[in-house]
A and B are shown apart, each in its own frame.
Chain A
Amino acid sequence: MSEEKFDVIVVGGGLAGLTAAYELANAGYETLVVERGDYCGAKNMTGGRLYGHSLEKVIPNFAEEAPIERKIVKENIALLNEKGGVQIAYTSPQLGEGSNASYSVLRGKFDQWLAGKAEEAGAMMVTGIRVDKLIEQDGKVVGIDAGGEEMYADVVILADGVNSLLAQQIGMKKEIEPHEVAVGAKEVFKLSEEIINERFGVANGEGAAILCAGDPTDGNLGGGFIYTNKDTVSVGIVTTLSDIGRSQLSVPKMVERFHNHPMVEPYIKGGELVEYSGHLVTEAGWSMIPELYRDGVLVTGDAAAFVINLGYTVRGMDFAIESGRLAAEAVKRAKAVDDYSADTLSYYKKLLEESFVFRDMKKFSAFPAILEEHMIFNELPAFVGDVFNRMMVVNSEPSGDLVVGIANDFCKRFTMAGIADFVGKLMEVR
């Protein structure tokens, strides 16, 4: 069997891996990307929205050529109860300005585009190949084994996603626990561009995001999401695995319940389902970060648990891209001194520490504990529903005093102990 040696082998053709490959190929290094799907993006799924700032640094004005779906100009947060809910819409020119811009994307198309860019830059792409294990010599990672075929490199970059079995195999990452991740399930409905514009109140090329808490997950931690694509709408739910069994609704049933909700259905009515997908979503973030470097190996993107879920913003792809870029920087420095030891590669972690990736993940590291409060998903949406009913419903019945009524609703839904506990947790986060 022939033995090939590359400067760098990247395992996984997602956003982290492809960004690293693009940067390294551009710097003139012999870079191989190995992807198990038939094409880059084939196994990847997002809600989803890409915050553009990190890719902007790698490929300025990427949105002009990349297959983005729509620029998100309308942010919505909705608290849903069983039959209704409250939806707050936010629009501001700042949302779409320069590197603030975020875009709805579909990974099947988007990753193929980035793979094309990496290939143009000189990276070699091998698709349809699963990497079975890393080759270690004297405790150093020196290559990969794919179905008995061995390939060698100075450095291997692991960008193999949330289920990074390779990082687990060599003990860099521990087994994922149910409270650390959520399952996401998504439906993509085809509609016309015009209908989407009308229903979401946006112009051509512009889009909306709607993040929903409450009813979609039937009291489980998690929520629902809606993103407008060019001529499709993505609709789905995310629910934390440690809550499975709390609701007797299965994940596929939650998806059905969500898309039939009276506040959701009008957006997608008449739409034709074109794809149904599922994926794990990292929830615990900061506390899940694995070992990031060892002799001859770096871990990036979802494999490194670089995700923040705040409920109202969900970020992962911008971190993946930045971590891929920084991994490439660390490899370039290692190449310059021809030393691929953990010591030299620790520069990757230093760069991460100085970047927004660690800054933001650290800042919100206590946030998952807040999102583990069932109150936000149960009592709060119900209470908000009570209040709005009291304010908005007009009929011949006596309406009573509004303030007293709201106070009654509050007492009905919450206990003082529950509130005290929640406020305590909020203070900790601050």
Chain B
Amino acid sequence: MMKKMTIDDKLGLDIYNTDEHESHIDVDLECKDEAEIMKLVLACPAECYKYVDGQFSFSHLGCLECGTCRVLSHDKIVKSWNHPMGTIGVSFRQG
């Protein structure tokens, strides 16, 4: 087995210039549609969406800017999605 790493360990290797306050994704955290929530939880490669003990949460920190959540749930849970401002967000050195 390869060394076990958490998603936070992995994202910690990436370079970010994070805007701690301003999120480029506006998420409806009041959503109660569990099936819709689970799609985002399963699909987000950075685990930005979490659903633990019936509690739905989102953090844009660590976002890889792929746009998966926008395609899966635009106008539903993802109220708005934009690219982060210039220089903000992830920078791939390998890519």
Report A's interface with B, CB cutoff 8 A. 36-39, 41-46, 106-111, 127-130, 146-147, 162-163, 165, 175-178, 181, 183-185, 187-188, 232, 234, 241, 244-245, 247-252, 255, 259-260, 265, 268-269, 271, 273-280
Contacts and interface: CB of A to CB of B under 8 A. Distances in A.
Contacts of A129: 86
Provide the main secondary structure of the chain A interface.
Answer: mixed
Nearest to B66: A278
Nearest to A107: B95
B42 A248 contact: yes
A128 B17 CA distance: 11
Contact of B41 (A232, A250, A260): A250
B13 A276 contact: yes
A188 B35 CA distance: 32
Given A165-B82, A177-B71, A275-B94, A38 B87 contact: yes
B39 interface: yes
B94 A183 contact: no
The 4 A-B pairs with the shortest beta carbon distances in the complex, nearest first, are: A278-B45, A107-B95, A278-B64, A108-B95
Given A106-B95, A251-B45, A278-B66, 6 more contacts: A36-B86, A45-B92, A46-B95, A177-B71, A250-B41, A280-B67
Contacts of A183: 43, 45, 66, 68
Given A38-B17, A244-B39, A128 B87 contact: yes
B2 A181 contact: no
Interface residues of B, number: 41
Provide the main secondary structure of the chain B interface.
Answer: loop
B94 A176 contact: no
8 contacts: A44-B95, A107-B95, A108-B91, A108-B92, A108-B94, A163-B67, A275-B93, A280-B66
B38 A41 contact: no
A166 B64 CA distance: 20
Interface of B: 1-2, 5, 7, 10-11, 13-14, 17, 35, 38-39, 41-47, 64-68, 70-72, 74, 82-87, 89-95
Contacts of A181: 71
Contacts of B11: 276
Contacts of A260: 1-2
A163 B84 CA distance: 12
Contacts of A271: 2
Contact of B92 (A41, A130, A232, A241): A41
A375 B15 CA distance: 39
B86 A130 contact: yes
Given A38-B87, A130-B86, A241-B71, A250 B94 contact: no
A245 B14 contact: no
Contacts of A249: 42
Contacts of B82: 165
A276 to B, nearest CB: 4
A260 B84 CA distance: 33
B42 A37 contact: no
B65 to A, nearest CB: 6
Contacts of A130: 83-86
Nearest to B41: A250
A147 B84 CA distance: 12
Nearest to B71: A176
A277 B67 CA distance: 13
B68 to A, nearest CB: 5
Contacts of A177: 71
A154 to B, nearest CB: 24
Contact of A259 (B2, B46, B66): B2
B57 to A, nearest CB: 15
Contacts of A128: 86-87
A176 to B, nearest CB: 5
Given A251-B43, A275-B92, A245 B38 contact: yes
Contact of B13 (A184, A275, A280): A275
A280 B72 CA distance: 12
B67 to A, nearest CB: 4
Contact of B42 (A146, A163, A245): A245
A241 B2 contact: no
B74 A175 contact: yes
Contacts of A268: 2
Contacts of B67: 162-163, 280
B76 to A, nearest CB: 12
Max count, chain A CB within 10 A of own CB: residue among B47, B86, B92: B92
A188 B94 contact: yes
